[in-house]
Structure formats: structure tokens, C-alpha cells
Amino acid sequence: MSPVSTGTLDLQHRRCPEPGDDLSDYSVLPVPPMSIRFDQAAGTLSPAGPELTRRMSDLEGLFLDQNAWRTAVADGDPIVYSVVSSLVPEADRELPQSITTIQPGSTGGEFWMTKGHQHPNHQGEIYLGISGRGGLLMFDGTDTRWVDMTPGTIGYIPPGWAHRSVNVGGKPYSFLAVYPGGAGHDYGWVLEYGLGQRVWRQDDGVAFGGYFAEASS
Ligand code: F6R
Ligand code: ZN
């Protein structure tokens, strides 16, 4: 058997990522076996795929207190979270990975969070906590589940459960996501059906309340 090369692979990276691009544009299939390096201090993956930045203005309709959301947009439109991905594309049978970092903060008392989505092609996904303190909120349309996420925790998202991540600490919360490349992402589902619960800052802790207007606890 010939030795396995651990040197730099020709990843056939076609071009630089641009906002709004589809993740499947970044690699030519089939992707070769590769090693992907994660620099925790820099929050980067190498070789790098697309990067996404979500500002407050990208989170329209997601915080319960819309006035507080508008004020936050007008008041500097801060970055709420960013997502860096490896070169593994969102293509059927591939297994893409990404690192999400959510900044600490709250708007109208609601902790900063990701948009949240459902995978239209129902498939499972795992998250691994890397740094900070967060949570994984899951909703299947009826039941809601919450998994506390600290460094080293693996959160499992079963097929058919919409999911959102929340930073409940005072520092950035980062986690690794690994998911089936053919699962797709449906953000409209969450706008329509919600995520079962909202996650509120309460004194030094966390409180949960119902999702829609009657909700705050
Ligand atoms: C992929 C996945 C994560 C999220 C990321 C950003 O299936 O669950 O990589 O995509 O945490 O959250 P959203 O996509 O909800 O903006
Ligand atoms: Zn997902």
C-alpha cells in the first residue's frame, strides 16, 4: 500500500467566496480526503471556505421586541454572529462543517442567537461546543428541547427538529457544526412556526418563555 500523503492537497479552490454565494460553489467534487485545521484563537478554518456575517439587520422578525430590534439596527447594526466554513461543499452525501461564533448580548431582554432553520430534507446534525456558554434550542413543531452547550458538549439534532443557537454567557460562544450536505436550510419555517421557546436574560441567569407575543416571562 502506498503511503498516505499528509502534505498540502490540491483542493481545486476555484475562487474567493463572496457574500450570498452558494456553499456548493467553492469546491469541485469529488473533494479529496483532507486535513482541516481549526485555529481557535483566530476562529478560522484552513483551508477556508465561505464566511458569513450576520448583523442585527439580518435578523428581522426574529426578536420578539421589534422596537428594541429597530433601535439596535439604528444604533450601529452590530455583528451578532459569524460562520466560517471549510471547503467541503453543501452537496449530497458530503459532510460540510462550519464554526459559528455568537457575540454576547441581548435585545429587548432576549439573548443574541442565530436565525435558526429547519433542514427541509430531514437529516440529523451534530454541534460540538468549543468556547463560551450557549445553548441549542430545538423544536419539532410540537415539542421544544434545550441542550446546554459548554466546551466539549456534543448536541445532537435529530432529523425534523428545527434548531437555533443562543449565547447565554458574557463572552463569545463558538461551536462546530457537522451536517449532511444535502439537507438544505429552510429559514422561512422558523419565521412561520417559531422555535417553541424564547430565551431571556434574567438577572444573571436564563429564563424561558413562550415564542409568540403572549410570551415574555
Ligand atoms: C448548519 C447549522 C449551522 C448554522 C449556523 C448559523 O446546518 O445548523 O452551521 O447554519 O450556526 O445558524 P443559521 O443557519 O440558523 O443562521
Ligand atoms: Zn442545521
Residue 33 pLDDT level (bands cut at 50, 70, 90) = confident
Cβ of 198 closer than 6 Å to ligand 1, yes or no, is no
- The DSSP output letter for 189 is H
Give 123 Cα–ligand 2 centroid separation in angstroms.
9
For residues 197 and 50, the model is more confident at: 197
20 HSE (CA, 13 A, CB side): 1
Whole-number pLDDT of residue 42? 83
Model pTM? 0.89
Closest ligand to C-alpha of residue 189 is 1
Whole-number pLDDT of residue 44? 86
Residue 217 pLDDT level (bands cut at 50, 70, 90) = very low
Whole-number pLDDT of residue 113? 98
Per-residue pLDDT of 98-123, as tens digits, reads 999 999 999 999 999 999 999 999 99
pLDDT over 70 (residue 16): no
**Closest ligand 1 atom, residue 190 Cα:** 15
Per-residue pLDDT of 199-210, as tens digits, reads 999 998 999 999
Residue 12 pLDDT level (bands cut at 50, 70, 90) = very low
Percentage helix, strand, coil for the chain under 3-state DSSP, each rounded to 5: 10, 35, 50
Alpha carbon nearest to ligand 1 atom 5, residue: 100
**Closest ligand 1 atom, residue 85 Cα:** 9
Cβ of 101 closer than 6 Å to ligand 1, yes or no, is no
- The DSSP output letter for 188 is H
149 contact partners, CB below 8 Å, separation of at least 6: 127, 129, 133, 134, 135, 136, 155, 165, 173, 175
Per-residue pLDDT of 152-192, as tens digits, reads 999 999 999 999 999 999 999 999 999 999 999 999 999 99
Whole-number pLDDT of residue 122? 96
Query: To test ligand 1's pocket by mutation, which of 54, 84, 100 has the most ligand atoms within 8 angstroms of CB?
Result: 100
Sequence-distant contacts of 103-106: CB under 8 A, at least 24 apart: 103/78, 103/79, 103/167, 103/172, 104/132, 104/167, 104/169, 104/170, 104/171, 104/172, 104/173, 105/78, 105/80, 105/167, 106/200, 106/201
Domains of the chain: 35-210 (2.60.120.10)
The candidate with the shortest Cα–Cα distance to 180, out of 157, 205, 148, is 157
Helix or strand holding residue 129 (H, E): strand 125-131
Residue 66 pLDDT level (bands cut at 50, 70, 90) = very high
**Exposure class string for 100-112: b at 16+ Cβ within 10 A, else e:** bbbbbbbbbbbbb
Mean per-residue pLDDT over the chain, rounded: 88
